[in-house]
């Protein structure tokens, strides 16, 4: 996906089993971030950083959505454990993950496998991608987005 592309449509369950689509948030900016796995060190730091900045995003009427291939139940436990106030979507069938091109070959300790590459997209009020942030750093992703959006 590239800047200027229409954000791919999808409908996935959140941590409570409610079906959510980015189209539900037309008229608002959406920060859509893809991450590998609930309760892993990097993913937990990234989610907690978004949680810590949540009020700043909310003041700007920006919706935060995190997506991984974890189950609805895993997301529910993850959100409860870390008091995550934003939307987490479950994508075990890789619908959005593949549509956004974040299911990629990864190398770890010389072993090649496929998985989610940590990537963040900013989608404008009309559903167009205005920013793509590949291979983001978990600790600074939320702050970088806020800085970018305040500058625009």
Query: What are the residue numbers of the active site?
Result: 43
Q: What is the dihedral of CA 94, 146, 81, 37, to 10 degrees?
A: 30
């Amino acid at each position: 996906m590239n800047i200027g592309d229409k954000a791919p449509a999808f409908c996935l369950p959140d941590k409570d089993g409610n079906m959510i689509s980015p189209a539900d948030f037309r008229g608002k900016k959406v920060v859509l971030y893809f991450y590998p796995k609930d309760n892993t060190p990097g993913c937990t730091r990234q989610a907690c950083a978004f949680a810590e900045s949540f009020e700043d995003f909310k003041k700007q009427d920006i919706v935060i959505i995190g997506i991984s291939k974890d189950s609805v139940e895993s997301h529910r436990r993850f959100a409860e454990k870390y008091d995550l106030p934003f939307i987490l979507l479950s994508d075990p069938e890789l619908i959005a993950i593949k549509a956004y091109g974040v299911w990629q070959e990864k190398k770890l300790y010389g072993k090649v496998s496929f998985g989610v590459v940590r990537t963040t997209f900013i989608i404008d009020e009309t559903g167009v991608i205005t920013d793509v942030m590949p291979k983001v750093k978990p600790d600074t992703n939320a702050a970088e987005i806020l800085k970018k959006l305040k500058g625009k």
